[in-house]
Copies of this chain bind each other. A is one copy, B any other.
Amino acid sequence: MKLSNTSEYALRILCFMTKDENRLYSAKYLIDELKISDKYLRRLMTDLTKAGFITSIQGRDGGYKFLKSSGEIYLADVINAVEGMDKYTGCALGFCECSDTNPCVMHSTWVPVREEFLKAFTTKTIRDLDIMTVTKY
């Protein structure tokens, strides 16, 4: 029940960028502020760009800035962009054919947990995160 580093980083980056939503952020600056390694962050930025959340400006004085409003970027969308939600929405025991009509032993136990997870990640956007009350990203 911890997100993968990949999803964690993606959410932290986008969230951090809402501090000044119209600013252009260089990779260098994000790396320093968020303590994420250079190449890993750049790879994620490319994924987030391809997903259409941000746009990248190449060349000198380049960087990244929001293309969509942070209020339109759902948490589940971010996870889908960098690794896919499958891992988080599947059967607790990994049975690929698990369903309400063909449940595994954990099914009824797991359903409410998964529902709560899905509710949070499909209704909350990057803008809804606790940006103002927080010092750690």
Residues of A within 8 A of B (CB): 1-3, 5, 8, 11-12, 15, 75, 87-95, 98, 102-110, 112-117, 120-121, 124, 128-131, 133-134, 136-137
Judge whether A103 and B130 touch: CB under 8 Å: yes
Judge whether A107 and B89 touch: CB under 8 Å: no
Contacts of A94 in B (CB 8 A): 2-3, 5, 8
Do A3 and B92 contact each other (CB < 8 Å), given the known contacts A113-B113, A113-B116? yes
Whole-angstrom distance between the alpha carbons of A120 and B110 in the complex? 8
Whole-angstrom distance between the alpha carbons of A5 and B91 in the complex? 12
- Number of copies of chain A assembled together: 2
Whole-angstrom distance between the alpha carbons of A113 and B110 in the complex? 12
Judge whether B109 and A75 touch: CB under 8 Å: yes
Whole-angstrom distance between the alpha carbons of A137 and B103 in the complex? 10
Do A134 and B1 contact each other (CB < 8 Å), given the known contacts A93-B11, A120-B113? no
Contacts of A114 in B (CB 8 A): 1
In the complex, which of the residues B1, B92, B131 contacts A8, with contact meaning CB atoms closer than 8 Å?
Answer: B92
Shortest Cβ gap from A121 to chain B (Å): 8
Judge whether A120 and B112 touch: CB under 8 Å: yes
Whole-angstrom distance between the alpha carbons of A129 and B113 in the complex? 15
